[in-house]
Structure 1
Amino acid sequence: MKRRIWVCAVGAVLLAGLGTSCSTTTAGRPVAGDSAAVTTTGAAPSGPAELPPPPPTAASDEDQIREAIRTFQDAYNVENWDAYRQMMCPAMRDQFTGPIMEMVKKGRTDNGLTDIAVVGVEIDGDRATVTLDSQNEAVGRLTVTLPLERSDGWKICQVN
């Protein structure tokens, strides 16, 4: 249920972003609406000047970490192995090649989809620990803890 609400919220944000991209400029001022319906006469508009929208707020570290975990899970579930490996820190990515990646692929085929929920995030500078409630079709429910590092964005970094 929480994931559905989150997906709906993201969809609403995307739709709002698309709506703001449909503006045009008249006499140097942005005007919302269909560009075909706007005429430019060269005269300054008589109404009050529209202020530009405020800049978007930067996503917090926790939000970025949650997004990294979601991206990692989604890449695994749809078997996008390049994207899956890109969500790993360089040291971990170096280990996930050849036979190890073949084991991961076989595990995905044998075990099916995995659904996770982030239940805790602890951040310490450029390192973080995430606690997940993981549900897998074959394995069942597990609590998993993953370390992350900030390395060109937040990346999963469990190096043995």
Structure 2
Amino acid sequence: MWLAGLLVPALIGSAIALTGCTRETPGTAMAPSGVTALPQSDEDQITDLVERFEQAWNDRRFGALRDLMCAEMRGQSEFDEDALQEARSGSGLLDLAITELAITGDTAEAVIENDGDDPDDIAFVREDDEWTWCEF
């Protein structure tokens, strides 16, 4: 009991001593001059593409989803916004994970699982310096 009598005042004293020990630095944080961001690796770009594809599908943003597709897919009627909306109404949310990825130049093949099941081989193509989803 006597230990509690010593600790409580010491802790209160420490808390009082720490009050007001913050420092505010006004202004905007900036990167040092001459420093540029490193470009993302192809793997990171494809991972980001898969995440954006999943989010667009789940959010029913079919225009954004089409923007992620290769030109060949966008040219097919089965991938217009109405067809995508119809396909989405009969299915659930996506939870995609890349389990394998092989990149060769401007093409890539990935094994992607949805919610840990049903692995699919998905093709990607680099068009205008951007990776696009090129298989459904």
User: TM-score, normalising length from structure 1?
Assistant: 0.59
The aligned residue for residue 95 of structure 1 is 76
The aligned residue for residue 18 of structure 1 is none
How far off its partner does 1:118 sit?
Answer: 0.9
Letter in 2 for 1:34: P
How far off its partner does 1:156 sit?
Answer: 0.9
How far off its partner does 1:119 sit?
Answer: 0.9
The aligned residue for residue 131 of structure 1 is 111
Match of 1:156 among 123, 130, 133: 133
CA RMSD of aligned residues (A): 2.5
Q: Which runs of 4 or more aligned residues in structure 1 lie more than 4 Å from their structure 2 counterparts after TM superposition?
A: none
Task: Give runs of aligned pairs for residues 70-81 of structure 1, distance below 5 A.
Answer: 70-81=51-62
The aligned residue for residue 26 of structure 2 is 34
Show structure 1 runs of 5+ residues with no match: 1-32, 36-50
Q: Residues 68-90 of structure 1, C-alpha deviation per residue, up to 9 Å, x if partnerless?
A: 11111111110101100000111
Higher relative contact order (CA 8 A, sep 6+): 2
How far off its partner does 1:111 sit?
Answer: 1.5
Moved more, 148-157 or 103-112: 103-112
User: Does 1:145 pair with 2:121?
Assistant: yes
CA distance in 1, matches of 2:53, 2:77: 14
The structure with the larger Rg is 2
Give the aligned length: 108
Contact kept? 1:85, 1:96, Cα under 8 Å: no
Cα pair distance change 1:134/1:56, threshold 3 Å: same
Match of 2:92 among 89, 105, 112: 112
- Aligned-residue sequence identity (percent) comes to 28
CA distance in 1, matches of 2:125, 2:52: 15
Partner of 2:95: helix, strand, or coil?
A: strand
CA distance in 1, matches of 2:95, 2:68: 17
Partner of 1:59: helix, strand, or coil?
A: coil
Letter in 2 for 1:151: E
CA distance in 2, matches of 1:104, 1:132: 20
Letter in 2 for 1:91: E
